[in-house]
Structure formats: structure tokens, C-alpha cells
């Protein structure tokens, strides 16, 4: 689609820095800047795009919970059913947990066939130097015109896959990076898209919004007591994602975690190993300390990002109670979230 054509986009607002205003009473920023005011900050020329809006909630994304992902997914479904001529959807969201939400929507809304674009800002839109207007403008451009059929994050002139991004900078405007592979595209005078993407299509969307949020993320550190894993299972968690050292390694001698992982698995708790490294993937067969987790039955996340592994495990547990099926689903590539040496393709094909 050409950027000279008209378009129709729905903007769903959830709060975040982009909609924050300074509250003198509390001495801090809080969500409260309306979408109407934000749209007035956009430059001339955007009027070719028809924009419909819906405010879901005004929430700092640090307060976002899994049920909020479900509300966003259900809003997308309703919007789709009421506006079949829609070119794309933009979701305004806080940056702190944007990658969790974008991953959840990627999995809960599959085969949408049009761009579902998350964006936000590092500086509140109520400030004159905010990066919000640019990000919203770019997100609308992608939603209206990009040949893209998947969920993504648009930020600081880059387009990141919704299951491959990570917030790596706390305040800088280039807050997000793609973690293996590269971004889906760039935004400049034109929208530049790379080949490894899902293009627009006309398949029937699938909405699978069930979740089980009893999943815990643990980061291994020197001195970590194995009993922590036992206590997590005692609390009723059905899944644990463990960020190991390097290629997924765990202590295997003093304070060995192997027996605790084995015990968790015997209590029907899925254990998935990821890595603390920003780039690379888990290989539990490489070192003795990795095999310690592999031999007791822990599952490798391969190159799946920890945040994405948490969301995917919640989603898998929400689809079935069959533990073997859940393990298979975790290793199935649905929306570009995992790449394995066996070259499993999209939707496991």
C-alpha cells in the first residue's frame, strides 16, 4: 500500500508514559493525557488516515497484569468484527512491560493479517520535547500502509517483531532493540521492510486468549538456594522459567539446582531454561553444568527471550492441561518467537 493512499486505523489506548501528565499533588507523572490531545500534536498530512479511538484503561504499564492482555486481545477482536475495512491497529502502551504485552497479543491474536502496532514514548506527550508524537505518527503509518501482517513494536524509527524485542535502555529514546534477528524494518522518508516478516494476508484470524498466569521467572545467581524453586512450587506455580548463566547453565555442585528442578517436574511443574545473555541461545548439552538441568528434564528455550518464554508458558498452560502437549507447544514456533536447530517453521511447519 502506498503512503499516498487513504487508510483506516484504530488506536487503542492503555496509558503509559505517552499519556502521562505531571501531577503536582504526588510530585510525579501519572497517566491522564487524552488521546484527543495527543492526536492534535500530529503533523499536517495525517488527515488522509481515518482514525477511530477507544480508551481501554489509563494504566502505568508497571501495573499491567495478564488479564489486561486479555482485555486488549478482546478489544482487537471486537474492533475487527465491527470494522472489517480496517487497515491496522495501534496500541498505545507504557514501555516498561510493552514486550510482555506485545508477545501476549502475538500469541493470542494469530493470523490477523494486518499490522498490530505497539508504541509509546520515553517522554510524556504533555511535554513539548516528547518523542510521543513521532512514535504515534510512525505507528499509524505502519498500521495504515505497511505490508506487514503481524504484531510489532514501532519505536524511534524502528519496527521490531512483537516476540523478539527487549527494552534495553531506561530513558534513551531508542529504548528497544530486536534480539536475534534484526528489526523487521525502518522508518524514514519511506517505510523500509525486510524480507523475514509476515506479510499482509486475508486468512481468518484466530483468537486464543486463555491464560494461566501461574508462571514464575527466576534468575540464577551465585549463592542462590535450591529451596527457592521448591517454595515457588509450594505457592502453586505451574511453570518456572529459569534464566541460567551463559548457555543455560546452573550450579551443579554446591547449591546445585538440579534436584530442586527434578522435584518441581515431579510435581507437574514445567521448568524452562533461558539465558541471562542479551544475545545467543540456550544449549544445555554444551557444558556439564547445562547437562545437569537437561538430564533431570528441564526444557530448553533455545533462543526464546526470557520475557517471551514467560508469556508463552502462560499461554500454553491456558490452552491445555496435558503436560506433554505443553512441552511440544513451547518448542513450536507460532509467531517467530523461537528458532531451533531443527528449523521448525511458523506454526511448527
* Angstrom distances, CA of residue 316 to CA of 110, 214, 263, 307, 324: 14, 11, 21, 14, 11
d(CA 345, CA 212): 26
303 flagged as catalytic: no
Is residue 95 flagged as an active site residue? yes
Query: Which of 13, 14, 60, 95 is flagged as catalytic?
Result: 95
Contact assessment for residue 89 and residue 124, using Cβ atoms and an 8 Å cutoff: no
- The catalytic position among 167, 291, 320, 339 is 167
Question: Helix axis angle, 258-266 relative to 288-295, nearest 10°?
Answer: 20
Residues in the chain, how many?
A: 349
79 part of the active site: no
Q: Is-cis flag, bond preceding 246, omega within 30?
A: no
Residue 143 · residue 117 · CB < 8 Å? yes
| 17 labelled catalytic | yes
* Active-site residue (options: 87, 96, 131, 303): 96
The three three-digit cell numbers of residue 221, written as one number: 545467581
Please state whether beta strands 158-161 and 151-155 pair in parallel, antiparallel, or not at all (unpaired): antiparallel
Catalytic residue among 14, 17, 275, 332, which?
A: 17
CA 98/CA 113 separation, integer angstroms: 21
Determine contact, residues 273/301, Cβ cutoff 8 Å: yes
Catalytic residue positions, numbered: 17, 95-96, 167
Amino acid at each position: 500500500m502506498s503512503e499516498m493512499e487513504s487508510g483506516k486505523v484504530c488506536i487503542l489506548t492503555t496509558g503509559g508514559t505517552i499519556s502521562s501528565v505531571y501531577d503536582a499533588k504526588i510530585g510525579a507523572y501519572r497517566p491522564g493525557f487524552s488521546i484527543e490531545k495527543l492526536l492534535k500534536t500530529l503533523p499536517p498530512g495525517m488527515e488522509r488516515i481515518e482514525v477511530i479511538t477507544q480508551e481501554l484503561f489509563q494504566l502505568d504499564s508497571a501495573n499491567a497484569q495478564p488479564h489486561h492482555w486479555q482485555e486488549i486481545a478482546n478489544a482487537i477482536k471486537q474492533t475487527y468484527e465491527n470494522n472489517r475495512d480496517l487497515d491496522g491497529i495501534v496500541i498505545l502502551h507504557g514501555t516498561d512491560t510493552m514486550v510482555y504485552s506485545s508477545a501476549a497479543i502475538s500469541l493470542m491474536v494469530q493470523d490477523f493479517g494486518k499490522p498490530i502496532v505497539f508504541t509509546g514514548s520515553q517522554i510524556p506527550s504533555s511535554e513539548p520535547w516528547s518523542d510521543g508524537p513521532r512514535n504515534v505518527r510512525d505507528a499509524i503509518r505502519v498500521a495504515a500502509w505497511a505490508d506487514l501482517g503481524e504484531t510489532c513494536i514501532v519505536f524511534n524509527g524502528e519496527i521490531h517483531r512483537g516476540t523478539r524485542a527487549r527494552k534495553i535502555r531506561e530513558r534513551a529514546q531508542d529504548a528497544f532493540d530486536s534480539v536475534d534477528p534484526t528489526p523487521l524494518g525502518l522508518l524514514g522518508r519511506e517505510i523500509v521492510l525486510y524480507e523475514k516478516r509476515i506479510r499482509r494476508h486475508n486468512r481468518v484470524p484466530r483468537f486464543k486468549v486463555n491464560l494461566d498466569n501461574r508462571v514464575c521467572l527466576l534468575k540464577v545467581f551465585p549463592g542462590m538456594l535450591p529451596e527457592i524453586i521448591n517454595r515457588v512450587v509450594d505457592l502453586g506455580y505451574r511453570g518456572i522459567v529459569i534464566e541460567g548463566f551463559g548457555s543455560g547453565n546452573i550450579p551443579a555442585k554446591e547449591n546445585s539446582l538440579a534436584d530442586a528442578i527434578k522435584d518441581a517436574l515431579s510435581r507437574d511443574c514445567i521448568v524452562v531454561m533461558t539465558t541471562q545473555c542479551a544475545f545467543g541461545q540456550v544449549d544445555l548439552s554444551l557444558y556439564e553444568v547445562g547437562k545437569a538441568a537437561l538430564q533431570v528434564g528441564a526444557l530448553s528455550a533455545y533462543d526464546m527471550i526470557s520475557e517471551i518464554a514467560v508469556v508463552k508458558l502462560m499461554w500454553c498452560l491456558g490452552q491445555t492441561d496435558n503436560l506433554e502437549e505443553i512441552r511440544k507447544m513451547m518448542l513450536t514456533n507460532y509467531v517467530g518467537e523461537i528458532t531451533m536447530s531443527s528449523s521448525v517453521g511458523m506454526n511448527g511447519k
